[in-house]
Amino acid sequence: MTAATIFSRSTRSRFPGFGLSLGFTLFYLTGIVLVPLLALVLRPFSLHLEDFWAAVSAPRVLAALRLSFGMALAAAAIDTLFGFVVAWVLVRYRFPGKRLMDALIDLPFALPTAVAGIALSTLYAPTGWVGSVLAQHGIKVAYTPWGVLVAMIFIGLPFTVRTLQPVLQDLGRDLEEAAATLGATRPQAILRVVVPMMLPALLTGAALAFARGVGEYGSIIFIAGNLPMKSEIAPLLIVTKLEQFDYAGAASIGVVMLAASFVLLLALNGLQVWAAKRR
Amino acid sequence: MKKNRAATDDPPLLRYLLCGIAFVFIGLFLALPLLVVFSEALAMGLGPVWAAVTDPDTLAAIRLSLLAAAIAVPLNTVFGIAASWAIVKFDFPGKAFLVTLIDLPFSVSPVVAGLIYVLVFGRQGWFGSWLTDHDIHILFALPGIVLATIFVTFPFVARELIPLMSDQGREEEEAALSLGASGFATFWRVTLPNIKWGLLYGVLLCNARALGEFGAVSVVSGHIRGQTNTMPLHVELLYNNYDYVGAFSVAALLALLALLTLALKSFLEWRYADELAAVHRH
């Protein structure tokens, strides 16, 4: 500590490679990420603002945005609920197959989205293992907007489980004990003591799953049916517009989605600050 | 024999209920999709699988995917090491903002990731006419595919190393440096041995995503069969041509790769838990 204070003036010189490492970092970040993103952000300014609004507020674009954001919200809610159950089971219980279940959670991270897409689509199609059972009850999932939901649940699940698991692990049991001593039943203790303590982690996991769902493309396009106004997600509409060489239209939707990413990133940073304060 | 239950243990009924819910949910959304891939691939036996995997277009797709990953992963690894060295070993203003910017590609839609390169290098893009004049192909060619792959796998190594190196502090390197070791020797003989498992972990995830990326690459590749189709794009092409056995055979290859990645990842988390970033220690 004393050495550190004495030499604090020479911190920079003691560790070598500041210029090189930061210089390369900034160069690479600017070239790969920032400049191309700037090309997208500046694109709408090259048209008239009315044209940008016209492109974004076209009924087909609005329907696609509504579908992407609405279904991502629903999927994030479902992933948070079931992710909590899965994390709870993995942290608190011992049962056969636990290691396997734990490893399987990361499957959506590792499995290419196109593979997930054709697998989910086959599974939930009216002829598939799950789809045929659902079809007997008159429920259609594949090639409808519900297919979008299924794919988004798949892709978002690891985000909620992996956010909740370490927090649940570190959670002391003394408050639950106190609740039990004061006469709370087990479900009461979980719902009214554990869940409020987990709130930052629950929201963080939900926000991560939502962010992933909104932008997801590969696993959805195979199962969704992709009907304009009905089951067409916003990223697919960007691709469609690019294929028609409508760069301005594609960029306009892209800017809206990028803005949403920024807002989510800020919200996530805010959540982290909040969680740190509560600890 | 009735055992005494602690006040914080769940009653058996609740336990069975929650376990049941977890198993059904994981089964419906994770296990069955994985099983379907292999069952569809093997629907007509091993022969068609072999034929699909050794098809010249499939082999070209495998080569292209491996090539793109072989360029993107080392570049992002070097970047990850440089960024975490700068961020952990030095104090400078704007550090938190820099970390946020490094994470940014994770929250951008893959399609938007492809789109930005179209806006820079496409025919109507910033450098479009210049590139056409000089006959340089970036979009619908290898450079575009590599760029899109780099973008989507950008944060993997850095976000693994930054928390790990922050945990480890600066003392060991400070000791080496004060004993007269050169900067490079300090990095090579003190830092690198300390972070090697974390680095491998990051590279593993980076590589899995690089080989499997679909959305971003799809936008910039141009989908030329046998030329600019990566493995995931080839899966799409076969599937859309109603060649289900072919599509699922290539998909099974990718799924095996994903399972291998998961196995290695679980092994690292179990064996080298102390040498990974704290979030993975469970």
Q: Where are the domains of chain B?
A: 1-44, 45-276
- CATH code given to domain B45-276: 1.10.3720.10
Chain A 54-113, CB below 8 Å of chain B: which residues? 82, 85-86, 88-90, 92-93, 95, 99, 101-113
Closest CA relative to residue B11, chosen from A99, A174, A90, A190: A190
Q: What are chain A's domains?
A: 57-278 (1.10.3720.10)
Measured CA distances, B133 to A39, A51, A116, A260, B143 (Å): 21, 30, 41, 37, 17
Mean pLDDT of A116-121: 97
Residue A174: phi, psi to the nearest 5? -65, -35
Q: How confident is the model at residue A190 (pLDDT cuts 50, 70, 90)?
A: confident
pLDDT at A279 over 70: no
Instruction: Suggest the residue from A47, A84, A104, A118 to mutate for an interface test with chain B (most B CBs closer than 10 A).
Output: A118
Nearest residue, CB atoms, B85 vs list A21, A86, A222: A21
**At residue A269, does pLDDT exceed 90?**
no
pLDDT higher at B277 or A77 = A77
User: Which pLDDT value is given to residue B7?
Assistant: 74
Nearby residues of A46 by Cβ (< 8 Å), 6 or more positions away: A248
CB-based contact A66:B6 (threshold 8 Å): no
Q: What is the C-alpha separation between A16 and A224, in angstroms, rounded? A: 53
Among candidates A33, A95, A238 on the partner chain, residue whose Cβ is nearest the Cβ of B105: A33
Half-sphere CA count of A5, side-chain side, radius 13 A = 2
- A271 HSE (CA, 13 A, CB side): 18
ipTM of predicted assembly, 2 dp: 0.92
Query: Is pLDDT at A14 greater than 80 in this prediction?
Result: no
- pLDDT value, residue A139: 93
**A273 shares contact with chain B (CB less than 8 Å):** no
Chain B residues lying within 8 Å of A10, measured CB to CB: none
Scan for tokens 């495998």, then name that residue: B62
> For each of chain B's 282 residues, which pLDDT tens digit applies?
445 667 778 888 999 999 999 999 999 999 999 999 999 999 999 999 999 999 999 999 999 999 999 999 999 999 999 999 999 999 999 998 999 999 999 989 999 999 999 999 988 888 888 888 888 888 899 999 999 999 999 999 999 999 999 999 889 999 999 898 888 999 999 999 999 999 999 999 999 999 999 999 999 998 888 889 999 999 999 999 999 999 999 999 999 999 999 999 999 998 888 888 876 654
Question: Which chain B residues touch A131 with a CB distance below 8 Å?
Answer: none
Q: Across residues A159-180, what is the average pLDDT? A: 90
- For A66, other C-beta atoms within 10 Å of its C-beta total 12
Average confidence (pLDDT) over A197-225: 94
Contact state of B18 with A88 under an 8 Å Cβ cutoff: yes
Q: pTM of the prediction?
A: 0.92
To 10 degrees, the CA torsion angle through B270, B272, B275, B279?
-10
Quick check: B266 and A122 CB within 8 A?
Answer: no
Kindly list the residues from chain B whose CB atom is less than 8 angstroms away from the CB atom of residue A247. Answer: 118-119, 122, 124-125
- What's the pLDDT score for residue A3? 45
The beta-carbon neighbor of A33 closest among B21, B104, B282 is B104
Report pLDDT digits (tens) over A212-246: 999 999 999 999 989 999 999 999 999 999 999 88
